[in-house]
Amino acid sequence: TFPAWWKASHFMISKKNNNMPKTEDLLKRIGQLEKETGIKRTIFAACPNSPAVIRASLRAAKRNNAPIYFAATLNQVDCDGGYTGMTQEAFTRTVRFEAERINFTGPVIIAIDHGGPWLKDRQRTEKWSVEDAMNGVKKSFEAAVLAGYDLIHVDPTVDINVPKGEIIDINLVVKRTVELISHIEKFRKEKGLAAISYEVGTEEVHGGLADETTFDTFICGLKKGLIGVGLEDVWPCFIVGKVGTDLDTTVFDTEVASRLTSKVRPLGSYIKGHYTDDVANPEEYPLCGMGAANVGPEFTMSEYRALCELEDVEKRLEAEGKVAVLSNMRETLVKEVHDSHRWEKWLHEDELGKDLTELTADRQDWIVATCCRYIWQQPAPLAARAFLYANLERCGIDAESVVLGRIERDMDKYFRAFNLIGLNDLL
């Protein structure tokens, strides 16, 4: 139950349409179309974990005639290049160039996903102090705003100083969320830059928003905090909800999603879903009023599977005497993933301390397939891919199109399930 001062009117952002941030404008127009047609829609967000995924996302959006949303973590894209090798400016430029390449003119939203202290692997492994971690995130946010990002997910729900098994104090999450949003707004205004949108919260068990009571406490505290620093007109368009999907589950909980949606819609926000990869019932998202949903590791697996299938073709051609030297694509990827050690953070409790080779075959396959995103841009995988593509091209096979096609196919089901096909014409 919200306090008496809690009224929806406090949350409706009073901006003229021409000054409305792109994400909120898109959500508003989708809402207007729903009133006119009765069709509910959910925005599809892809995590840009490789150049191939970026290219495939734009190609799929063009073919489906729909908007595309890129949600980039600080591990993927950051001031140090992240594991994609792209800074914020390089990322926005890459997206622009790829869109121009295929003449895609539909809406493109570029966002930070999970921006908060210690959510960048380097900060966690190097055990950065609170001050250094917060300052590092602020620097990343500044670079994103300067690069033209449309939305920032503010997520200070991790604290390496909280003992294992305990959950961070939700009031501390609120305090840091307000501090980070306040910093962005001050920086943006000083630079004379356009307004941006915000996303808050997390679906992670460490995040403190896993149960609905804490969810309510967070929302109330956030509004009070923003008013307290003079940001009464700033409010997130997305609040992340724990809607049944996580690393090990793929069933979207329609009951919880509908309940959370009913809480935040009167406040001007939408629930955002994370871990939507391979979800069993994606068509339920729009029916429950979900504003958007993120999909990421699934497309790394799509890319990996396509490369492995192409390597099988390469081996058959080599046996026929049509290929001189094999690329060793799969072997290279397995070695690079293993040597990166970044796969270790995805181990289950009963797997801790084990080497990758000691895991079951299914777990090894899953870890390699999903953790390839960390090493795609390393020299050895790049060289192996170039070798594979060249071998197949010599035999009349367009390998890159095969890889992009596999990723696009796996994206198409979200455009379809989220009722996005043809939306650009209606916008």
The model's pLDDT over 214-268, given as tens digits with 9 standing for 90+, comes to 888 899 999 999 999 999 999 999 999 888 887 777 899 999 999 999 999 999 9
Residue 210: pLDDT band (50, 70, 90) is low
| Residues 6+ away with beta carbon under 8 Å from 277 | 245, 250, 295, 296, 297, 298
Considering only CA atoms, which of 94, 34, 114, 99 is closest in space to residue 67? 99
Surface-to-core class of residue 275, CB atoms within 10 Å of its CB (0-12 exposed, 13-18 middle, 19+ buried): buried
**In the 8-state DSSP scheme, what is residue 20?**
S
Q: How many CB atoms lie within 10 A of CB 379?
A: 9
> In this structure, what token pair is assigned to residue 44?
């599809």
Q: What pLDDT sits at residue 18? A: 55
Q: How many CB atoms lie within 10 A of CB 25?
A: 18
Instruction: Report residue 163: phi and psi, to 5°.
Output: -55, 145
* C-beta separation of 101 from 60 below 8 A: no
323: left (phi over 0), alpha (psi -120 to 50) or beta: beta
* C-beta separation of 391 from 323 below 8 A: yes
| Residues 6+ away with beta carbon under 8 Å from 39 | 33, 286, 419
Q: What is the mean pLDDT of residues 76-91?
A: 97
* C-beta separation of 333 from 372 below 8 A: yes
Residue 1: pLDDT band (50, 70, 90) is very low
Q: What pLDDT sits at residue 204? A: 55
Residue 167: pLDDT band (50, 70, 90) is confident
Q: What is the mean pLDDT of residues 167-182?
A: 94
Give a three-class secondary structure readout of 285-351. Answer: HHHCCCCEEEECHHHHHHHHHHHHHHHHHHHHHHHCCCCCCCCCHHHHHHHHHHHHCHHHHHCCHHH
pTM of the model: 0.92
* C-beta separation of 81 from 120 below 8 A: no
Of 242-246, 325-329, 333-337, which range is least confident? 242-246
Q: Quick check: 3 pLDDT over 60?
A: no
Q: What is the mean pLDDT of residues 86-91?
A: 98
pLDDT over 90 percentage in the chain: 85
Q: How many CB atoms lie within 10 A of CB 419?
A: 21
pLDDT over 70 percentage in the chain: 93
* C-beta separation of 37 from 77 below 8 A: no
CA distance 35 to 38: 6
Radius of gyration of the chain (CA): 22
Instruction: Report residue 68: phi and psi, to 5°.
Output: -135, 140
Residue 10: pLDDT band (50, 70, 90) is very low
Surface-to-core class of residue 228, CB atoms within 10 Å of its CB (0-12 exposed, 13-18 middle, 19+ buried): exposed
Q: Quick check: 13 pLDDT over 60?
A: no
pLDDT in tens, 99-138: 999 999 999 999 999 999 999 999 999 999 999 999 999 9
Q: What is the mean pLDDT of residues 302-321?
A: 98
| Residues 6+ away with beta carbon under 8 Å from 170 | 208, 209, 214, 217, 218, 221
Q: Which residues of 66-78 are buried (b: 16+ CB within 10 A; e: fewer)?
A: bbbbbbbbbbbbb
